[in-house]
């Protein structure tokens, strides 16, 4: 294949300079069409968010007078004030930070431990275990929620952050174990044997050999667990019905049903609620795009 | 020292001590996943209003009722719309966009332009679903909704009642899902394209293959493993869709947008038919496992063929 192309290239193609001018001339109109298409898609994706920001800075009166597409007649913070009056946003923010941070840390730790046993230790029945963890990631939350609801009540964790932290640590770690054990099984055995010959036990090998090698993957996993847990909806909605323990997204969702609230206040609340993940996204943009690739290993 | 370590290793079974490391995960999975799922299946065999109400044995009657329940079948029919909105359209569009960004815009306008466009496509993926749901209930509102304001500005006097008309509400939900999902395939496919040998493309364009031929002959076959991953994860996601329906339509109007997960939620928490809701959740799980099982099998077969051929 390559052999047949190579002489062909010599024979039919002109010198590099002529080739590039020819190519540019041929594709010039097309390149702008394609760029325009990509930008149009980007604008469609961004339009709702841009309008969300615009309308968050309007007053309710301005909104009903001029509609959602107009610029604010006067940039006002009243809608933010109104949202903050109705929702204890700092409280919700604190709850979300506590839940997402603890789940990210614990979930990654549990994933590391169990993937070490499966990927490095190759315990008996590890294939079956991985199959169970994979099923756990696919199971619809509806099939767990009612027993979890009663379980949380029976253990006194209902309406506390702990119910949600425990549930998501396990659910995220099921995915994490699945992912990490496939990465760990590719570690060169010589690396581990050398450490074992030096007399290092399993615990020492885990922290002095395996952990440093796995660190980049672990940090990606942690970012993912944080964002996923932050954004979770169904289980927190059911297990955290009391306002004092609600997360940022659930606080917004419960207000949305009320008719008395201005749409601009909900705009302001949405903006406040998406800012933490947006900031997180910008900080970890590189990690995230690397991470989606890691996620595709499975 | 060395011999001591070796003999110690030989006398002890190699993997036994590792079970300690699995303990938290196994205990967690038992308590948070397997036991609740088993209890859910158990509850599905009863008539139960929840709480302290008596549980009455119902055998498989809940499942028989399900098979005769038009609303349940409608919910599964609507799942097909969810699959179109989450799997089919975003994957096809994502393939095109990823190839455009990688093979064209990245090359002609630089990697920064491509990375920026990719980030805008991915942005909806990081929003909390509660925020995305509010945004779209506002986009699609009949009065002063964003979409209808734009349509009116274009001169149409009676724009559609997106969420109020039972004939089109499901399409309105699909619009939101496409917007939410698109960035996922784009990001994964662009990452996948990075491992395709650039010489393949060069050789093809020197052979006179246009963009479309290169797309079909090189791009798609080369990133087939990633296409599989996206299709499988997105399909499982489509079978589980819940929050968009709850927030946008609440299953309405006239039950036209009910999906299985929402139908079980409604039976659990609104109709107090806990046994029936559990039966729906169990049926859903079985469908998800079956669909995912078939897809994983196809994926494995395709990977094997690739390895052989």
CATH of the domain at A220: 1.10.3720.10
Say how far apart CA B70 and CA A130 lie, in whole Å. 37
Q: What are the pLDDT digits (tens) for A150-203? A: 999 999 999 999 999 999 999 999 999 999 998 888 888 888 888 888 888 899
Q: Do B108 and A31 touch (CB under 8 A)?
A: yes
- Looking at chain A from residue 215 to 254, which residues have their Cβ under 8 Å from any Cβ of chain B? 227, 230-231, 233-234, 238, 248-250, 252-253
- What pLDDT does A8 receive? 34
**Residue B57 backbone phi and psi in degrees, to 5:** -60, 135
B9 band by pLDDT with thresholds 50, 70 and 90: very low
Is there a domain that residue A189 lies in? yes
A10: exposed, middle or buried (Cβ count in 10 Å: 0-12, 13-18, 19+)? exposed
DSSP state of A67: -
Same domain, yes or no: A176 and A210: yes
B62-308 CATH choice from 2.40.30.110, 1.10.3720.10, 1.20.120.330, 3.40.50.1860: 1.10.3720.10
Is pLDDT of A56 > 50? yes
Nearest CA in chain A to B118: A42
Query: Hey, is the C-beta of A77 within 8 angstroms of any chain B C-beta?
Result: no
CB A267 within 8 A of CB A79: yes
- State which of A44, A76, A108 marks the end of a domain: A76
Residue A138 sits in the same domain as residue A191: yes
Residues found in chain A: 298
Of A133-137, A245-249, B19-23, B211-215, the least confident: B211-215
- Residue B249 phi/psi, 5° resolution? -125, -20
Give the tens place of pLDDT for each residue, A248-258: 999 999 888 77
CB contact at 8 A, A231 and A146: no
Contact B40 A234 (CB under 8 A): no
Q: What domain range includes position A56?
A: 16-76
Instruction: Give the alpha-carbon dihedral of B104, B107, B109, B110, to 10 degrees.
Output: 130
Cα–Cα distances (Å) from B140 to A48, B64, B133, B162, in that order, read 11, 38, 11, 6
Per CB-CB distance under 8 Å, the chain A contacts of B75 are: none
Name residues 116-175 of chain A within 8 A of B (Cβ). 116-118, 120-124, 129, 132-133, 135-136, 138-148, 151, 166-167, 169-171, 173-174
Q: Give A117's contacts in chain B (Cβ within 8 Å).
A: 15, 18-19, 21-22
Q: By percentage, how much of chain A surpasses pLDDT 90? A: 53
Asked whether residue A173 falls in the same domain as residue A154, the answer is yes
Facing residue for A139 by CB, picked from B39, B243, B285: B285
Cis peptide upstream of residue B71 (ω within 30 degrees of 0): no
CB B217 within 8 A of CB B123: no
Span A219-244, mean pLDDT? 91
Q: What distance separates the 2 farthest-apart alpha carbons in chain A?
A: 81
B232, B79 in Cβ contact below 8 A? no
**Tokens, residue A74:** 């006067």
- Same domain as A201, residue A105: yes
Q: What is the pLDDT of residues B156-177, one digit of tens each?
A: 888 899 999 999 999 999 999 9
pLDDT band at B86 (very low <50, low <70, confident <90, very high): very high
- State the pLDDT at residue A26: 52
Answer whether A252 sits within 8 Å of B131, measured CB to CB: yes
Rounded to the nearest 10 degrees, the angle between the axes of helix B274-308 and helix A142-154 is 130
Q: Which two tokens stand for residue B77?
A: 């029919």
pTM for the full predicted model: 0.87
Nearest CB to B278 within list A146, A177, A238: A146
pLDDT grade for A98, boundaries at 50, 70 and 90: very high
Tell me if chain B has a CB within 8 Å of the CB of A41: yes
**Exposure of A94 by Cβ count < 10 A (0-12 exposed, 13-18 middle, 19+ buried)?**
middle
Q: Evaluate if residue A94 carries a pLDDT over 50.
A: yes
Tens digit of pLDDT for each residue in A12-34?
333 344 444 444 445 567 778 88
Rounded Cα distance between B175 and A192, Å, is 51
For position B173, what pLDDT does the model report? 96
**Domains identified in chain A, total number:** 2
Q: What is the mean pLDDT of chain B?
A: 89
Question: Would you call A205 an interface residue with chain B, using a CB distance cutoff of 8 Å?
Answer: no
- Nearest-CB residue to A142 (from B109, B261, B289): B261
Q: Is residue A44 part of a domain?
A: yes
């Amino acid at each position: 294949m390559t052999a047949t192309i190579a002489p062909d290239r010599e024979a039919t193609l002109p010198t590099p300079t002529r080739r590039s001018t020819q190519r540019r001339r041929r594709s010039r109109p097309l390149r702008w069409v394609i760029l325009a298409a990509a930008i149009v898609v980007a604008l469609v994706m961004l339009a709702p968010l841009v309008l969300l920001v615009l309308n968050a800075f309007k007053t309710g009166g301005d909104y009903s007078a001029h509609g959602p597409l107009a610029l604010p007649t006067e940039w006002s913070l009243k809608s933010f004030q109104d949202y903050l009056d109705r929702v204890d946003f700092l409280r919700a923010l604190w709850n979300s930070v506590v839940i997402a941070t603890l789940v990210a840390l614990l979930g990654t730790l549990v994933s590391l431990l169990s993937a070490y046993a499966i990927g490095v230790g190759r315990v008996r029945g590890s294939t079956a275990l991985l199959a169970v963890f994979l099923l756990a990631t696919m199971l619809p939350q509806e099939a767990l929620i009612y027993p979890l609801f009663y379980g949380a009540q029976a253990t006194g964790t209902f309406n506390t952050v702990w119910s949600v932290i425990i549930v998501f640590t396990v659910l995220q770690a099921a995915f994490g174990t699945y992912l990490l054990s496939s990465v760990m099984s590719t570690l060169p055995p010589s690396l581990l044997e050398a450490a074992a010959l030096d007399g290092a036990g399993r615990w020492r090998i885990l922290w002095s050999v395996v952990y440093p090698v796995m660190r980049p993957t672990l940090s990606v996993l942690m970012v993912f667990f944080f964002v996923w847990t932050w954004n979770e909806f169904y289980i927190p909605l059911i297990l955290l019905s009391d306002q004092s323990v609600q997360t940022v997204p659930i606080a917004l969702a419960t207000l949305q049903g009320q008719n008395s609230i201005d749409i601009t206040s909900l705009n302001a609340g949405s903006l406040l609620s998406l800012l933490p993940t947006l900031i997180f996204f910008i900080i970890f943009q590189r990690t995230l795009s690397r991470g989606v690739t890691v996620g595709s290993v499975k | 020292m060395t011999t001591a370590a070796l003999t110690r290793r030989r006398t002890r079974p190699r993997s036994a001590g590792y079970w300690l490391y699995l303990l938290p995960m196994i205990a967690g999975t038992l308590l948070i996943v397997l036991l609740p799922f088993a209890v859910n299946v158990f509850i599905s065999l009863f008539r139960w209003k929840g709480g302290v109400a008596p549980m009455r044995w119902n055998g498989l009657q809940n499942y028989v009722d399900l098979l005769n329940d038009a609303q349940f079948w409608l919910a599964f029919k609507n799942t097909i719309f969810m699959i179109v909105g989450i799997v089919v359209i975003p994957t096809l569009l994502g393939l095109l966009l990823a190839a455009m960004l990688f093979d064209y815009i990245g090359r002609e306008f630089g990697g920064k332009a491509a990375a920026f466009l990719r980030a805008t496509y991915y942005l909806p993926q990081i929003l909390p679903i509660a925020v995305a749901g509010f945004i779209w209930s506002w986009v699609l509102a009949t009065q002063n909704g964003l979409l209808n304001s734009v349509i009116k500005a274009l001169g149409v006097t009676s724009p559609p009642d997106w969420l109020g008309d039972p004939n089109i509400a499901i399409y309105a939900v699909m619009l939101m899902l496409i917007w939410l999902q698109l960035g996922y395939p784009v990001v994964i496919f662009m990452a996948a394209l990075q491992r395709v040998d650039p010489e393949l493309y060069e050789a093809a364009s020197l052979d006179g293959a246009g963009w479309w031929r290169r797309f079909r002959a090189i791009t798609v076959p080369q990133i087939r493993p990633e296409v599989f991953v996206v299709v499988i994860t997105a399909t499982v996601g489509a079978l589980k869709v819940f929050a968009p329906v709850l927030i946008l339509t609440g299953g309405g109007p006239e039950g036209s947008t009910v999906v299985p997960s929402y139908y079980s939620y409604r039976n659990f928490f609104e109709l107090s038919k806990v046994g029936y809701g559990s039966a729906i959740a169990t049926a859903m799980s079985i469908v998800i496992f079956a669909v995912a099982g078939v897809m994983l099998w196809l994926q494995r077969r395709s990977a094997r063929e690739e390895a052989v051929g």
